[in-house]
Amino acid sequence: MAAKTSTDKASFKPRIAAFVCNWCTYTGADLAGTSRLQMAPNVRIIRLPCTGRIDPLFIIKAFERGADGVIVSGCHPADCHYTSGNYHARRRFAVARDVFGFMGIDPKRITFSWVSASEGGKWAEVVNDTTARVQELGPFSAYREMEARV
């Protein structure tokens, strides 16, 4: 990561939650591990059976609990372990995008991607890119400020 001019930003360590499916992306992340691919340490994975299981509320909740960014990742469109779970997920998230905006969450803080079980390298990229992007955006403080006010 390139050093940022603002010291504030440079010292900021984003916290990113990743909701990933068990079959593709989780396994891809395992592969990144066995391949010893170094990546930004800011992402915390929460494992789910399928992206179809991911409720947009999980994402909002993660932001509420202090996440600065979120990654959602699962199987490639035609490769869903459950045939069509990720298709439903994609449709739901297309709608949810607007909701996130409405909830005051900059959609740039959320990464949707497809990482298959064999794409360890791609996973590392997703992690690094998202971290860099969120770093740039700065801390997600909207909810904390709101909470403080209420």
Which residues would be at the binding site for another protein (CB under 8 A)? 15, 17, 26-27, 29-30, 32-34, 36-39, 41, 44-50, 52-55, 58, 61-62, 65-67, 80-85, 88-89, 92, 124
Between 48 and 105, name the residue whose CB sits nearer to another protein: 48
Between 36 and 149, name the residue whose CB sits nearer to another protein: 36
Q: How far is the CB of 25 from another protein (least distance, A)?
A: 11
Q: How far is the CB of 20 from another protein (least distance, A)?
A: 10
DSSP bridge pairs for 21: 48
Instruction: Report the C-alpha gap between 124 and 11 in whole angstroms.
Output: 22
CA gyration radius, the chain: 15
Q: How far is the CB of 62 from another protein (least distance, A)?
A: 5
The three-point CA angle 49-76-123 to 5° equals 80
Q: For the chain, percent helix, then strand, then coil, each to nearest 5? A: 50, 15, 35
